[in-house]
Structure 1
């Protein structure tokens, strides 16, 4: 299972590539994530190890290949869905959401 930060980096890579037709540089990843270069590189290494990306020539992110753009279904964290409180008052919508 990917950490939140690794998932964030994967989504940035995927969305950036689809929107701009290129991958962000490591510097752009540091700006977008608010983390240091070492943290970005650690996340990229984790994505390589988990086989979400392939990056043989690490001199430039242009050499990156995304193998899977989304976290695998069986690895997603379980999200608990709560039912909203039932109340017949119309003000609940404005005060609770």
Structure 2
């Protein structure tokens, strides 16, 4: 799952939890800042990854979320530990 698909999934999950409905495609364009084609591509990616199902694509109200979070195996890896010289530089800001 790429970052944009992850963002769309989180929007769908949170929006449904708060407003008890899924956002419309227009609302998704506003929330994500992307166009309808990008949103449809992200939704297709979520379908392919088995995160959602969407049988009747006439309305986003027909979306069913199968998994609201990314799978453990797909989480991005944490950044590498910085060099000791850089740690000293950061410790100045975090310890004093």
Specify if TM > 0.5: yes
* TM-score (normalised: structure 2): 0.85
Q: Secondary structure at the match of 2:70?
A: coil
2:43 corresponds to 1:44: yes
The structure whose residues are more often helix, as a share, is 2
2:74 corresponds to 1:72: no
**2: distance between equivalents of 1:68 and 1:81?**
29
Structure 1 unaligned runs (5+)? none
**1: distance between equivalents of 2:95 and 2:26?**
42
Q: Secondary structure at the match of 2:87?
A: coil
What is the total number of aligned residue pairs between the two structures? 92
**2: distance between equivalents of 1:23 and 1:46?**
18
Task: Give the equivalent residue in structure 1 for 2:87.
Answer: 85
Task: Give the equivalent residue in structure 2 for 1:34.
Answer: 33
Task: Give the equivalent residue in structure 2 for 1:11.
Answer: 10
Task: Give the equivalent residue in structure 2 for 1:24.
Answer: 23
**2: distance between equivalents of 1:31 and 1:68?**
24
The CA RMSD over aligned residues, in Å, is: 2.3
Structure 2 unaligned runs (5+)? none
* TM-score (normalised: structure 1): 0.84
